Amino acid sequence: MKDKTDLQRKLFSIDGAGYKAYKDIKGEYKFDRYILAIDHVQGDPFASPSKIRVIVSQKDAGFPDTLYDKPYKRIGVIDFLTRLFLNNIKKYYNPSGGSGKSGLISIDRCGQEILNRTSAVINEDKVEVRFEVGLPANGRRVLGKYADMIFSGAIPQIVDKTLFYKNIDANALKKQVDLCEDQDSLRDQIKKKGLVTFIANGSVLPRESGISDRPLIKGAIPFISPESLEVEINLPHKGIVKGMGIPEGITLIVGGGYHGKSTLLNALELGVYNHISGDGREYVIASRDAVKIRAEDGRGIEKVNISPFIKNLPNGQNTKIFSTENASGSTSQAANIIEALEVGTDLLLIDEDTSATNFMIRDERMQKLVSKDREPITPFIDKVRQLYMEKGVSTILVVGGSGDYFDVADLVIMMDEYTPKDVTKKAREIVSANPLKRENTGASGFGEITPRIVLKSGFPEGHKGRDIKAKGLHTVLYNRSQIDLSYVEQLMDSSQTTCIAVILEYMIKYIFNNKTALKEAVEMLLKQVEAKGLDSISPYTGHPGNLALPRKYEIAAAINRYRYEKGNSHIMQAKD
């Protein structure tokens, strides 16, 4: 193996040469206490930066195996090292300019959530970090001495302060690992207690702004549970935590505008993820299978049985095998619910502000004006109880304009100046004093959830094969087709979207076979990741450094929103 002197010699020799001379530095180099692997060299200073890894033997790194002996611990350590590496870039390195991305050192950027990432690796053999470097240039000429300063000066210092246990804040790392363990334990315990969510007393739910997911510091009102809903849970490290537990069933969140209804729901929808210390939502926990549902005008729908909600369309279209290129608010919301049920959700989170009104409710007066035989939609209010009783699926629903839902609710929570109050008793008194005369149109049962099979033939190759790539947080491009994930609201990180693109490519090659149901296919993929790691599905040999694992619901959402540009189907119902 070459060493750091060979790399320095090569950089000096190509100084001032054409940029493509950098190609010669690809390979592995032995430094004093680590190996530097240059896996990919960019062809132009304006192209995507070069891909670099640093590998430290665990014998030298010295991280105790008790920090990474379980999957959730390993995820916490990788998150910690990724954030630390980025902070040390800022602390110990100041770029000197140049063309394009010259001098850039970057690593996958973490948000408030702690996700399963590929930006680092830790096991009993090694600690590895994966990052990018913009090889410096003047115009399109190599700046070899500047590059040497990065490889021989900046990177060794950053690595020294990140990948050696004796040099990091071991107490901070231990606290993060303990926090991950507490959050996973809390998620397991609420399920055993028959709860679907938990919000700890003292949690800070409001965010800094509409474009920032950081906690609001000034003026935020800490969350305090109503006494009637307060539960306490004993965690492995924090000990006893008290807060509001929402039980299985149908829960309404009500209150005036700007009193915190949607803020509470937004916190719950992200309770499927663990959060870093200081986020304010560290102990805001939801079922792992909670799915946020909304209307999504214009989305494509493929072979979904939406008949539990919509039947007898005027055009005669079969809603048991419903497809459309341009869904309405009601058909899209119906499809979003059925698709979530198909993959296995046990909790729906719905905000009336982002719902189709005609899907959610038909009041007594409208029922009298428009008879049932002229209305194809069975509103959610007439299905939500069946959904829980027959399918075991709970619902948490934000409502501000329809008291009709009091009739079907098990629990009613009112947000009053960001303070929750249990008003279930009062809501029931209102129901008794003002009985509804609207007809329940929910029929005798919820209806069938029809599984669907993904067709490999629905994902054709283009002239140059399949080109699948992410573009930001909300878009995956498949050849010339765009998969729009703008309204998949629990997708939180662009690295998850990048991962979805990688997953889609892998599933087309190895899982889709015209026989396997969508749910089974996605779960096969996740079992592969659990057994062999996220690296195992990546086509980026040696350096899949910018992937973060999404849940099965976000993966399925991308598959469901794919549209084959020639109009051919990519999904069929299992009984077709």
pLDDT of residue 448: 93
Token pair for 38: 């240059």
> 267: closest CA among 290, 294, 242, 241?
290
* Gap between the Cα atoms of 459 and 455, Å rounded: 8
pLDDT digits (tens, 9 = 90+) for 523-550: 999 999 999 999 999 987 667 889 999 9
pLDDT of residue 212: 86
pLDDT of residue 367: 81
Average pLDDT over residues 37-53: 95
Q: Where are the beta strands (DSSP E) in 322-403?
A: 322-324, 347-351, 394-398
Q: Tell me the pLDDT of the chain averaged across its residues.
A: 94
Task: Give 347: exposed, middle or buried? Use CB within 10 Å, 0-12, 13-18, 19+.
Answer: buried
Average pLDDT over residues 494-511: 96
pLDDT of residue 370: 84
Spell 125-135 as b/e; 16+ CB within 10 A means b.
ebbbbbbbbbb
Residues 6+ apart with CB under 8 A from 108: 82, 117, 118, 119, 130, 495, 545, 546, 548
> 94 versus 575: which is more confidently predicted?
94
pLDDT of residue 540: 77
> Are 516 and 510 within 8 A, CB to CB?
no
Average pLDDT over residues 495-521: 96
Q: Which SS3 state, helix, strand or coil, does residue 359 take?
A: helix
pLDDT of residue 565: 63
Element (H, E) at 384: helix 384-391
Q: Count CB-CB contacts under 10 A for residue 281.
A: 26
Token pair for 66: 């008790």
pLDDT of residue 566: 58
pLDDT digits (tens, 9 = 90+) for 220-246: 999 999 999 999 999 999 999 999 999
> 458: closest CA among 514, 399, 410?
514
> Are 556 and 522 within 8 A, CB to CB?
yes
Q: Which residues pair with 395 in a beta bridge?
A: 250, 348
The pTM of the whole model exceeds 0.85: yes
567: pLDDT strictly greater than 70: no
pLDDT of residue 315: 84
> 306 versus 312: which is more confidently predicted?
306
156: pLDDT strictly greater than 70: yes
Q: Which SS3 state, helix, strand or coil, does residue 213 take?
A: strand
Residues above pLDDT 70, as percent of the chain: 99
> 525: closest CA among 559, 569, 478?
559
576: pLDDT strictly greater than 60: no
The lowest-confidence range among 44-48, 276-280, 436-440, 474-478 is 436-440
Q: Determine how β-strand 394-398 pairs with β-strand 347-351.
A: parallel
φ/ψ of residue 545, rounded to 5: -85, 0
Distance of CA 459 to the CA centre of its chain: 24
Q: Count CB-CB contacts under 10 A for residue 411.
A: 18
pLDDT of residue 247: 98
* Gap between the Cα atoms of 547 and 29, Å rounded: 25
pLDDT-based confidence at residue 437 (cuts at 50, 70, 90) = confident
Spell 354-381 as b/e; 16+ CB within 10 A means b.
bbbebbbbbeeeebeeeeeeebbbbbbb
